[in-house]
Structure 1
Amino acid sequence: MAGNPRNGRPYRRLVDWLRAQRLPCWLCGRDIGYDLDPRHPLSFTLDHLEPVSKRPDLLLAKENARAAHRRCNSSRGNRTTTQPKTAPQRASRRW
């Protein structure tokens, strides 16, 4: 049985390369807490533009790697959309 490719050195190098750039979250545009505990919702995670579940061949591709908050990455799931979820806008009251 093959191991998890996200535990290997090539994946860790990709994570370290992206972390060193200190980019904002590609989904919401806000700064990422790179020094936060990895379990914190606003901490850094590596996200993939094309989800690995749909394109496993792009797991280690730098052009597919994006910096994201843990919360943003989790809420996006494996969708390919780049638009974050937003609350529906309420219409103003007509006078």
Structure 2
Amino acid sequence: MAGNPRNGRPYRRLTIQQRALHLPCWICGHDIDYSLTSYAAQRSAWAFTLDHAQPLTKGGDLLDPTNARSAHRRCNSARGNRITQPQARASRRW
């Protein structure tokens, strides 16, 4: 019985490579706080997570570097498994 592929060395390597790029969130375009690590990163909505442009449930490859994107935890969760990005909201009502 195979374990969770996200716990494997290839997935961790991909996550480290993507994180090292220090790219902004591909969904909202804002900077990601890369200083958050370990426990703090698990709690912060603005921490780095590895997202997939083509969701895994829609046939995306977990370990394909061309499918890997940097995202905020909050943006990644809000997007879910949709292929399109959620609409950016204005910071205030006009």
Normalised to the residue count of structure 1, the TM-score between the two structures is 0.84
**Root mean square deviation, CA, Å:** 1.7
Compute the displacement of 1:84 (Å). 2.5
Show the counterpart of 1:23.
23
Q: Report the count of equivalent residues.
A: 87
Q: Which has the larger radius of gyration?
A: 1
Aligned-residue sequence identity (percent) comes to 60
Compute the displacement of 1:86 (Å). 3.7
Compute the displacement of 1:87 (Å). 4.5
User: In the alignment, which of 79, 86, 90 is matched to residue 76 of structure 1?
Assistant: 79
Tell which deviates more after alignment, 20-29 or 31-40: 31-40
- Is 1:65 aligned to 2:64, yes or no? no
Task: Choose between structure 1 and 2: higher helix proportion.
Answer: 2
Report 1:1-95 matches (<5 A).
1-36=1-36, 37-39=40-42, 40-55=44-59, 58-81=61-84, 83-87=85-89
Q: Deviations over 1:57-94 (max 9, x none)?
A: x110000000000000000000000x323459xxx8xx
Partners of 1:15 and 1:87 in 2: CA distance = 28
Q: Which stretches of structure 1, 4 residues or longer, exceed 4 Å deviation after superposition? A: none
Partners of 2:89 and 2:31 in 1: CA distance = 21
Compute the displacement of 1:33 (Å). 0.5
- 5+ residue gaps in structure 2? none
Contact 2:51/2:71 (CA < 8 Å) preserved in 1?
Answer: yes
Normalised to the residue count of structure 2, the TM-score between the two structures is 0.85
Partners of 1:87 and 1:10 in 2: CA distance = 35
